[in-house]
Amino acid sequence: MEFHVITLFPEMFAALDSGLIGRARQQGLIAIHAHNLRDHGLGNYRQVDDTPYGGGSGMVMRPEPIAAAIDAVTAERPGLLKILMTPQGERFDQPLARELAGHAGGLLFIAGRYEGVDDRIHELVDRELSIGDYVLSGGELAAMVVIEAVARLLPGVVGNPESLAEESFGDGNLLEYPHYTRPEEFRGMRVPEILLSGDHGKIRAWRAAEALRRTARRRPELVANRRKP
């Protein structure tokens, strides 16, 4: 699967050369291309922003460079789903990650900066996503979050596919059950005896119950949503 990003800071995406995503790139399972918005800037100074109409603080990203960058990328890859990363977008979650992982044509992210993008850009994209109710300096980190969440759902990226179903939000939108490893006792805290029993049926039941209990305690709204028809 191909991931493309239009950004003023393409060097930031070198961070995705590490770990699981880095290995997936090396194996050719995914490709990540960062396109420098400045290449489509205006005039001798490659301008990409300007003062807002109506006054106000900060700068707004001009529509022409962004539109030109979108046109250039989609001319080469016409099947890309165009996604604007913005605090005003729909909340990104695991079901949406699964949905995007099924888009065979690849994804194109637009990472805004400054006070945001000229509102007319909203007409040029297919989706608008937010990773949470807070503000970052730009959309690059948010795009990286979405890329990793989507990429690890693709075939072959995670070595053991069964682990995806056991993760938080992977099975019925619950948080993951507690994990333990050696030693059996650490600072007076012991591993639950059920996990040492070797009874896999009882262990599965314990894990399911613990996942539900932990979710009810830490994220009760997720349990409430499970009860809705």
| 85 shares its domain with 30 | yes
Tell me: do 178 and 147 sit in the same domain.
no
Give how far Cα 55 sits from Cα of 60, 65, 110, 137, 191, Å.
11, 22, 25, 21, 61
Per-residue pLDDT tens digits of the chain, which is 229 residues long: 999 999 999 999 999 999 999 999 999 999 999 999 999 999 999 999 999 999 998 999 999 999 999 999 999 999 999 999 999 999 999 999 999 999 999 999 999 999 999 999 999 999 999 999 999 999 999 999 999 999 999 999 997 766 665 665 655 678 999 999 999 999 999 999 999 999 999 999 999 999 999 999 999 988 887 766 5
| Domain that includes residue 128, residue range | 2-151
CATH classification at residue 187: 1.10.1270.20
Number of structural domains (the chain) is: 2
Point out which residues pair with 83 in neighbouring strands.
109, 127
Residue 58 lies in a domain: yes
- Cα distances from 77 to residues 35, 69, 127, 141, 218, in angstroms, run 13, 12, 17, 23, 42
Are 107 and 67 members of one domain? yes
The CA-atom distances, in angstroms, between 56 and each of 50, 74, 115 are 12, 33, 10
Distance CA 82, CA 122 (A): 10
Residue 62 and residue 107 in one domain: yes
Residues 36, 141 within the same domain: yes
Q: Does 30 share its domain with 77?
A: yes
Phi, psi of 61 (to 5 degrees): -75, 130
- Residue partners of 38: CB distance under 8 A and separation at least 6: 8, 46, 48, 65
Name the amino acid, one letter, at 83: I
pTM beyond 0.75: yes
* Residue 91, domain CATH: 3.40.1280.10
Dist CA 5 CA 69 (whole Å): 10
